[in-house]
Amino acid sequence: MGQNQPRVVRLVLDLKQSIAPQLFTLSPVAAYQHRLVFDLYPAQERDPLLALIRDKEQAEQKAAKAVQDALGEFIGKMNQPPGPPPRRRQCRP
């Protein structure tokens, strides 16, 4: 929010997608003075079923990548020469 000119206030919103704005004013009521209302609707409605499918696909891809990373790490360890055997602890009588 900033002052564009004397007696003019500018409000700027950065949005992630295009919108279909609607604005209107409300008359004073009780303790509330003159009000300006902005309703910001998405320009393209999000299909909830399609969004659910996309979210599921993204989760599956992320899980598959994690499995591939773990498998790649395991295979990488298989190709390395074995290290020294673990030391045995001797028990004292």
CB 18 within 8 A of CB 41: no
Model confidence pTM above 0.75: no
- In this structure, how many other beta carbons lie within 10 angstroms of the beta carbon of residue 60? 10
Q: How far apart are alpha carbons 38 and 41 in whole angstroms? A: 10
Helix (H, G, I), strand (E, B) or coil at 7: coil
The string of pLDDT tens digits covering residues 61-88 is 888 877 777 777 777 777 677 667 777 7
- Look at residue 3 in the predicted model and tell me its pLDDT: 75
